[in-house]
């Protein structure tokens, strides 16, 4: 059976730019006088590796009292706009019309809407009535690589079918001035909004071949990362420090995932990792025994866009494709579960 290939990749961001200095000022106003531990964690705005990020709403909007109705409306509007932007770019690069797409896989964990995003944009995009819709929720930061795995298997199972993968997240809508926790302050320092879209097909064309995919979930780790569902909206959960966990546990997990396909870390020529934060990137370099500073594209994406959750790894892949992929590239991401996902790509 022929492996799926990436025909095109495109990224999109919303119009509003939030500098890290403005985000720090926002956090000081929101938490400084009410949260006794704020000063202990406020340094994250300087150490996160982020210079600015994009948001679906201007920064003043987040200073208002917000609940589910306001956040949900912003999610639907912002995520649909990002979906359409990224998808149209990817289709254009692939030389396809939306009506030629057979399956749409939509990855998003930062809002809830029924009908799902793919249905909401179907008319404006021009998807055919018979398009297969696969909305995926709950994978968080691992959603980009896990979504690629799902889309690749669907393309592989139907040779010649065009599969559109869209990862879209509006992480900034989780900013919560009512939640006085260290995790909430860290989220305010890290999160940005964005989207990525890829077109896949199992044939001889494309910019990269998806050789293998795998996932790994560590037992008894549900508390590391996730959302709480509150009256005011989604609230971030970071109950354990992720960088030390990644440094200790990610290497063995990556080796185990590669071994399923008869590969090892010595077979990897390049890495494309989800940059959750500056300390996470450093932890990944240590876990994979890489020279410090090797993950330069990851740091550059983090600096420019922040942590956009699922789409972020595709912003890194976009840079890697522009510079030319070596023979084999390993994509990695970690997310709620607590889990990891990998995909190996072969240069076309």
The phi-psi region of residue 309 (left if phi > 0; otherwise alpha if psi is between -120 and 50; otherwise beta) is left
Residue by residue, DSSP assigns 135-191 as EE-S-GGGHHHHHHHHHHHHHHHSTT--EEEEEEEEGGGG--TT--SHHHHHHHHHB
3-state class percentages of the chain: helix first, strand second, coil last, to nearest 5? 45, 25, 35
Helix (H, G, I), strand (E, B) or coil at 281: helix
DSSP state of 307: B
- How remote is the C-alpha of 336 from its chain's centroid? 12
Q: Which helix (H) or strand (E) holds 22?
A: helix 20-31
**Which residue is catalytic, options 80, 141, 171, 273?**
141
Q: Supply angle C-alpha 88, 322, 334, rounded to 5.
A: 80
CA gap 315, 300 in Å, rounded:
10
141 counts as catalytic: yes
- How remote is the C-alpha of 192 from its chain's centroid? 10
Q: How many helices (H) and strands (E) does the chain have?
A: 11, 13
- Which residues belong to the active site? 141
């Amino acid at each position: 059976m022929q492996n799926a290939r990436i025909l095109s990749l495109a990224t999109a961001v919303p119009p509003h730019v939030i500098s890290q200095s403005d985000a720090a000022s926002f956090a000081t106003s929101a938490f400084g006088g009410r949260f006794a531990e704020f000063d202990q964690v406020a340094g994250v705005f300087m150490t996160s590796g982020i210079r600015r990020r994009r948001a679906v709403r201007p920064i003043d909007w987040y200073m208002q009292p917000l609940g589910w109705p306001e956040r949900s409306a912003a999610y639907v509007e912002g995520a649909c706009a990002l979906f359409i932007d990224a998808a149209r770019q990817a289709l254009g690069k692939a030389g396809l019309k939306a009506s030629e797409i057979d399956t749409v896989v939509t990855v998003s964990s930062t809002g809830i809407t029924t009908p799902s995003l793919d249905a909401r944009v179907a008319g404006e995009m021009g998807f055919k009535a018979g398009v297969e819709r696969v909305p995926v929720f709950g994978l968080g930061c691992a959603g980009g690589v896990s979504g690629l795995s799902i889309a690749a298997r669907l393309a592989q199972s139907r040779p010649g079918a065009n599969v559109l993968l869209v990862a879209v997240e509006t992480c900034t809508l989780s900013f919560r001035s009512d939640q006085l926790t260290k995790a909430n302050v860290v989220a305010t320092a890290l999160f940005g909004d964005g989207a990525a879209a890829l077109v896949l097909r199992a044939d001889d064309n494309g910019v990269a071949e998806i050789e293998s995919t795998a996932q790994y979930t560590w037992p008894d780790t549900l508390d590391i990362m996730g959302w709480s569902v509150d009256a005011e909206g989604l609230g971030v959960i970071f109950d354990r420090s992720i960088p030390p966990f990644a440094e200790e546990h990610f290497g063995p997990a990556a080796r185990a995932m590669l071994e399923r396909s008869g590969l090892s870390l010595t077979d990897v020529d390049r890495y494309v990792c989800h940059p959750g934060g500056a300390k996470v990137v450093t932890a990944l370099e240590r876990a994979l025994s890489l020279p410090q500073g090797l993950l330069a594209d990851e740091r550059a994406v983090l600096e420019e866009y922040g942590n956009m959750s699922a789409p972020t790894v595709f912003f890194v892949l976009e840079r890697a494709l522009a510079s030319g992929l070596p023979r084999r590239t390993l994509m990695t991401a970690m997310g709620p579960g607590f889990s990891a996902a990998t995909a190996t790509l072969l240069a076309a």
